[in-house]
Amino acid sequence: MASDRIQTPKGTRDFYPADMRVQNHLFDGWRAVCRGFGYEEYEGPTFEHLELYVGKSGEEIVGQLYHFKDKGDRDLALRPELTPTLARMVNQKGPSLRKPLKWFSIPRLFRYERAQRGRLREFFQLNMDVVGCDTVAAEADLISAAVEMLRRFGLTADDFAVRVSSRRLLSEFLGRLGIAEAAQAGVYAALDKRAKVGEEEFRRLLAEQNVTGDSAAQLESFFLCRSLSELSALFTAPSAGEAAALGELRDLFGLLDGLGYAGFVRVDTSVVRGLAYYTGIVFELFDKGLNLRALAGGGRYDSLLSNLGGEPVSAVGFGMGDVVLADLLGEKGLLPQGRPGVDYYLVDLAASGGLPRPELLSLAQRLRERGLAVSYSLKAGKFKKQLEEANEGGARRVLFFGSDRAPAGQYEVKDLVTGDQTILGEDEL
Ligand code: HAM
């Protein structure tokens, strides 16, 4: 009985061949752009020691961990993100790795989230990171790559935008409001949750960190800035720290404008990011309909490596999930259609069930040796059945094996795309 059958666990997916075609399309596009920007691929384990995440990634993601004890009584967790693994790996090799590193990876990640549109419990996420570059050249490179990726998939400036802010500037601003550094993480968490929890709960969370009255109003004026000039107007007499953080934003926009990305990138101080370790520029990519959650998010995390016991090495990167991206591409009709069928499907005109003929098998073998994709009916059934199989499999051409219209050593071939029928020698195939 169907109702008794075991289903996939909540928030996970099966990838049938049609789903894998979509997945491979995303991964191929991601890999091509990463390589085009000179990033190298790496990978880590799917589970790590629990302590790699606790106290470093922030309370939201720790609350979503799949953690367990193994048979040796060790506390382990399925990875909810790759950044701590990257930091651990770089720390492990220390100075033997030549910096700056430009690395990418496409990990499978696990978060115990409330499963909903765009949010699953198991998903894939492209990660691109630069380790050991402390100027915004790294941010500019990463944001350019993220924009190019989405353009490669067919999206335009009408479809998505990159919103950029600065944790460093926000931290300076909170300092100005007299909010001690220890309380700032709580404020970031409140700001990041704002849209999710609603205004009343947001105010309550801020009040928990003693941000009320005039401080709350001033914070709001920061939060509303949508351009560099609005930020400059807010910081009329900037402190040295504020001036440096503003300078970084200006430099980054200077580089991105020069690359022609002005139409894609804008200041948006409401971007805070949920993860605790960001220290500088932060950014998120959104679809312009704003129907979906963020397509990607990232930023600078200059203290994570040293917090995990390594040398103080600067780092910046972003993650782009497969779920939201596939949803958006599907909505815009930009996902690949049809099947990537074989070059030749060999139809045996003399077949009537039983095993395929050895002559047909050796032709298939010779063609495959030349790099062609070749298939034939494993059941060697009636002509009509074989043709149906060729069509359903998306074959580009059918070769009629044993056709009396072709002289010895030649083959009758039909192009299923154009309908053209020709006689070809084996090396012309
Ligand atoms: P994040 O903002 O947690 O950042 O995730 C980045 C992207 O991953 C999101 O914008 C979204 O597309 C996707 N994503 C996150 N959670 C889920 C989920 N439950 N289901 C589907 N997609 C999801 C990070 O993970 C950082 N470690 C990124 C980073 C890399 N920062 C620096 N380097």
pLDDT digits (tens, 9 = 90+) for 268-303: 998 988 888 999 999 999 999 866 689 999 999 999
pLDDT of 157: 96
Q: Mention every residue, 6+ apart, whose C-beta is less than 8 A from residue 79.
A: 44, 45, 46, 47, 48, 85, 107, 109, 110
* Ligand 1 binding pocket includes 125 (Cβ within 6 Å): yes
| Helix 181-197 × helix 199-208 angle, to 10° | 170
* Ligand 1 binding pocket includes 295 (Cβ within 6 Å): yes
What whole-number distance in Å separates Cα of residue 55 and Cα of residue 276?
9
What whole-number distance in Å separates Cα of residue 372 and Cα of residue 376?
13
What whole-number distance in Å separates Cα of residue 196 and Cα of residue 187?
15
* Ligand 1 binding pocket includes 127 (Cβ within 6 Å): yes
Question: Between these two residues, 188 and 28, which has the higher pLDDT value?
Answer: 28
Question: Which atom of ligand 1 is nearest to 83's Cα?
Answer: 27
- Is the pLDDT at 2 greater than 60, yes or no? no
What whole-number distance in Å separates Cα of residue 168 and Cα of residue 280?
5
Mean per-residue pLDDT of the chain: 93
Domain 7-44+82-331 has CATH 3.40.50.300: no
pLDDT of 117: 84
- Is the pLDDT at 59 greater than 80, yes or no? no
Question: Between these two residues, 116 and 99, which has the higher pLDDT value?
Answer: 99
Domain residue extents for the chain: 7-44+82-331, 344-425
pLDDT of 181: 81
- Is the pLDDT at 193 greater than 90, yes or no? no
CB neighbours of residue 100 within 10 Å: 20
* One-letter-per-residue 3-state SS of the chain: CHHHCCCCCCCCCCCCHHHHHHHHHHHHHHHHHHHHCCCEECCCCCEEEHHHCCCCCCHHHHHCCCEEECCCCCEEEECCCCHHHHHHHHHHHHHHCCCCEEEEECCEEECCCCCECCECCEEEEEEEEEECCCCCHHHHHHHHHHHHHHHHCCCCCCCEEEEEEEHHHHHHHHHHCCCCHHHHHHHHHHHHHHHHHCHHHHHHHHHHCCCCHHHHHHHHHHHCCCCHHHHHHHCCCCCHHHHHHHHHHHHHHHHHHHCCCCCCEEECCCCCCCCCCCCCEEEEEEECCCCCCCCEEEEECCCHHHHCCCCCCCEEEEEEEHHHHHHHHHHCCCCCCCCCCCCEEEEECCCCCCCCCHHHHHHHHHHHHCCCCEEECCCCCCHHHHHHHHHHCCCCEEEEECCCCCCCCEEEEEECCCCCEEEEEHHHC
* Ligand 1 binding pocket includes 107 (Cβ within 6 Å): no
- Ligand 1: residue of 52, 81, 112 to mutate (most ligand atoms within 8 A of CB) is 81
As a dihedral over the C-alpha atoms of residue 14, residue 15, residue 18, residue 24, rounded to 10 degrees, the angle is: 150
pLDDT of 44: 98
- Is the pLDDT at 9 greater than 90, yes or no? yes
Give the lowest-confidence range in 287-301, 308-322, 324-338: 287-301
**Res. 194 pLDDT band, cuts 50 70 90:** confident
As a CATH number, domain 344-425 is 3.40.50.800
Contact call for residues 320 and 290 (beta carbons, < 8 A): no
- Is the pLDDT at 147 greater than 70, yes or no? yes
pLDDT of 274: 80
What whole-number distance in Å separates Cα of residue 249 and Cα of residue 144?
15
What's this model's pTM, rounded to 2 decimal places? 0.93
* Ligand 1 binding pocket includes 267 (Cβ within 6 Å): no
- Is the pLDDT at 1 greater than 60, yes or no? no
Q: What residue owns the CA closest to ligand 1's atom 17?
A: 119
Q: Mention every residue, 6+ apart, whose C-beta is less than 8 A from residue 232.
A: 246
Question: Between these two residues, 403 and 101, which has the higher pLDDT value?
Answer: 101
- Is the pLDDT at 127 greater than 70, yes or no? yes
Give the lowest-confidence range in 52-56, 248-252, 388-392: 52-56
Mean per-residue pLDDT, 311-322:
97
- Is the pLDDT at 257 greater than 90, yes or no? yes
Q: From ligand 1's centre to the CA of 390, what distance in Å? A: 41
Most confident range, picked from 86-100, 212-226, 345-359: 86-100
* Ligand 1 binding pocket includes 297 (Cβ within 6 Å): yes
Q: From ligand 1's centre to the CA of 295, what distance in Å? A: 8
